[in-house]
Amino acid sequence: MRILTFIAPLLGSRKMTKLQGHEEEALGDAVAWCVANGGCYADPNDPKLYGHAPFALEPFPFPRAEYDRVVALQPAFGRLVDCVARDAAWLEETLKETAASDEFTRKLLELRRETDAKGLKQTCSLGLLRSDYMLDAPGSNAEDGSGRALQVELNTIASSFGCLSTVISGLHSYIAQKYEGASNGVLPPNKAKDGLCAGLAAAHAEFLRQFPSSDVPRRVAMVVQPGERNQMDQRMLEHGLWEGHGVDLRRVTLLDVEENEGKLIFGEGDDKWEASVVYFRAGYAPDDYASDKEWQARAVIEESKAIKCPTVAYQLAGTKKVQQALAAPGVIEKWLPDDAESLRGVFAGLYSLDVADGASVDAIVAEAIDNPAKFVCKPQREGGGNNLYGDELKESLMKFSPQERAAYVLMDRIQPPSKTATLVRGGESIVGACVCELGIYGTILTNGEGATIFENTPGHLLRQKSLGVDEGGVAAGFACLSSPALV
């Protein structure tokens, strides 16, 4: 920015306007830029109508050292997911009690087991991952705030917003060049969209290498939810894959699938095509499986030759229960002894609620009931809006049977620093205290024996939400898209 300010007059460029006093003008510019560059979100009542995606007018300050640290950790998190996913015995043991109390986890675990028993037709896995962090703020109401980034969760299925976050990084760069005072830090480059496309393209290329001939075209199948509001984020991957790699991606639902000798066939008659890669942007929530038919379709996909993003095992490796189990001392060492300490350095306190963990569970539950504001209680769900906080956490923990409790994990509540910021939704701005959550994207394509065929750490997502809002999630209506300004 400083360089731009210096060279702009030499280039005869436009003089910068001060943001202060010109907020309305900046808001209009920002909404226009956002829409002009595809930062769009579908109308809740009509998925064919688009408005701008909710965004923060300015980037959120984030300490450079913590940003660099979590970016550097991402490849190891990718390898960890792959190791965990391949360790069937460990997954079974870790998820045993959770599966007994939670039908969704149980069905996924059964599907993994059955597919294994039949023999894998495809050993490669693709992960498009996003590891999310909040800052543990010194001086906030956490007594021992360290100022370090702590992992909120590691998403292994339908990690969304890679494309919209790339747009928002561009938006903040534009606003910072036009308005003086719109960013007080350095905006790091964000290649999330290109990097995710490169991961999908690498998996497609691997499939063609394995199966060079076919009588029908091969394409990437993106499994989507009907009426998806975040369709533009998905469409940009579709366009990027075509423009950058010449790979065709088609949107399908779970029920569109048909199987033929391990091949996944979609379409009718002359329009038939085979899926090389199945990329799930649905299938992470019980609602995505309205009947047994959807589960059967998931099984057909899992058992097919197509490369899955993710496999059921990768999905299970991203559960909150696995996150909690990995945080216990000495566990990561089983697979990644050299990375264990640095990975654990971003873990918040996580506590098992398994009956088998006995007295320590009773002690932590009693502490959480006494001090609900210090904890978050998490079920094995994705997509936001599922966690328990405050009074609800307290009442639930008082009411749950020990078996019911085992469907959840407890986590220390991270208390991030807040800053006054402007959030923009539906063209209207709201100014207030906000906190942020940083997500780091990473892709990993592995061969099923621990070898990595392709990996990258291309970019990030920063979401901002009003202070005092418990949940996150842009899609769930809690957060706005933003970007980090490194300070």
Catalytic residues: 130, 153, 155, 160, 320, 378, 382-383, 463
Whether the CA torsion 99, 105, 110, 113 is positive or negative: it is negative
Least CB distance to ligand ADP at residue 37 (A): 25
- Is 179 one of the annotated binding-site residues? no
Least CB distance to Mg ion at residue 163 (A): 18
- Is 387 one of the annotated binding-site residues? yes
Judged by beta carbon, residue 194 or residue 470, the one nearer ligand ADP is 470
The distance from CA 384 to its chain's CA centroid, rounded to whole angstroms, is 11
- Is 79 one of the annotated binding-site residues? no
Q: Among 231, 227, 228, 205, which residue's Cα sits nearest to residue 218?
A: 205
Alpha-carbon Rg for the chain, nearest whole angstrom, is: 23
Among 74, 115, 122, 155, binds Mg ion (CB under 5 A): 155
Whether the CA torsion 294, 297, 301, 302 is positive or negative: it is positive
Q: Which residue is nearest to ligand ADP (CB)?
A: 472
Q: Which residue reads 């996913």 in tokens?
A: 85
Least CB distance to Mg ion at residue 472 (A): 6
Question: What is d(CA 219, CA 228) in angstroms, rounded to the nearest whole number?
Answer: 21
Judged by beta carbon, residue 155 or residue 169, the one nearer Mg ion is 155
Among 382, 393, 434, 462, binds Mg ion (CB under 5 A): 382
Judged by beta carbon, residue 153 or residue 302, the one nearer Mg ion is 153
Provide CB contacts within 8 A for 266, sequence distance 6+.
Answer: 221, 250, 252, 256, 257, 258, 272, 273, 274, 275
Question: What is d(CA 436, CA 182) in angstroms, rounded to the nearest whole number?
Answer: 17
Q: Among 272, 273, 294, which residue's Cα sits nearest to residue 283?
A: 294
- The site that binds Mg ion (CB under 5 A) totals a number of residues, namely 3
- Is 234 one of the annotated binding-site residues? yes
Judged by beta carbon, residue 58 or residue 382, the one nearer Mg ion is 382
- Chain residues that interact with ligand ADP, rule: CB under 6 A: 132, 134, 152-153, 348, 376, 378, 381-384, 386-387, 411, 413-414, 437, 471-473
Are the CB atoms for 249 and 237 separated by under 8 Å?
Answer: yes
Are the CB atoms for 157 and 279 separated by under 8 Å?
Answer: no
Q: In the 8-state DSSP scheme, what is residue 405? A: H
Judged by beta carbon, residue 252 or residue 410, the one nearer ligand ADP is 410
- Could you tell me the maximum CA-CA distance found in the chain, to the nearest angstrom? 71
Judged by beta carbon, residue 130 or residue 308, the one nearer Mg ion is 130
Least CB distance to Mg ion at residue 31 (A): 26
Three-state secondary-structure class, residue 358: helix
376 binds, among Mg ion, ligand ADP, none (CB under 5 to 8 A by kind): ligand ADP
Least CB distance to ligand ADP at residue 384 (A): 4
Q: Among 185, 188, 143, which residue's Cα sits nearest to residue 419?
A: 185
Least CB distance to ligand ADP at residue 40 (A): 22
386 binds, among Mg ion, ligand ADP, none (CB under 5 to 8 A by kind): ligand ADP
Could you tell me the end-to-end alpha-carbon distance of the chain, in angstroms, rounded to an integer? 13
Least CB distance to Mg ion at residue 432 (A): 22
- Is 485 one of the annotated binding-site residues? no
413 binds, among Mg ion, ligand ADP, none (CB under 5 to 8 A by kind): ligand ADP
Q: How many CB atoms lie within 10 A of CB 292?
A: 8
Least CB distance to ligand ADP at residue 44 (A): 19
Judged by beta carbon, residue 185 or residue 416, the one nearer Mg ion is 416
- Is 382 one of the annotated binding-site residues? yes
Q: Beta strand pairing status for 408-412 and 350-352? A: antiparallel
- Is 275 one of the annotated binding-site residues? no
Question: What is d(CA 214, CA 197) in angstroms, rounded to the nearest whole number?
Answer: 23
Q: Which residue reads 């280039």 in tokens?
A: 11
- Is 301 one of the annotated binding-site residues? no
Judged by beta carbon, residue 19 or residue 73, the one nearer Mg ion is 73
437 binds, among Mg ion, ligand ADP, none (CB under 5 to 8 A by kind): ligand ADP
- Give, as ranges, the residues between 396 and 455 that touch Mg ion (CB under 5 A): none
Instruction: Decide: is 315 part of the binding site for Mg ion (CB under 5 A).
Output: no
Tokens of 28: 């209009």
387 binds, among Mg ion, ligand ADP, none (CB under 5 to 8 A by kind): ligand ADP
- Is 320 one of the annotated binding-site residues? yes
Q: For residue 27, give Cα distances in angstroms to 4, 19, 55, 430.
A: 22, 10, 10, 11
- Is 41 one of the annotated binding-site residues? no
Question: What is d(CA 80, CA 92) in angstroms, rounded to the nearest whole number?
Answer: 17
Within 13 A of 445's CA, how many CA atoms are on the CB side? 22
Tokens of 376: 């978050």
Q: Which residues are annotated as a binding site for ATP?
A: 153, 320, 378-387, 389, 411-414, 437, 465, 471
Q: Which residues are annotated as a binding site for substrate?
A: 130, 157-160, 228-230, 234, 281-284, 463, 474-475
Q: Which residues are annotated as a binding site?
A: 130, 153, 155, 157-160, 228-230, 234, 281-284, 320, 378-387, 389, 411-414, 437, 463, 465, 471, 474-475
Q: Which residues are annotated as a binding site for Mg(2+)?
A: 153, 155, 382
Q: By the criterion CB under 5 A, which residues form the site for Mg ion? A: 153, 155, 382
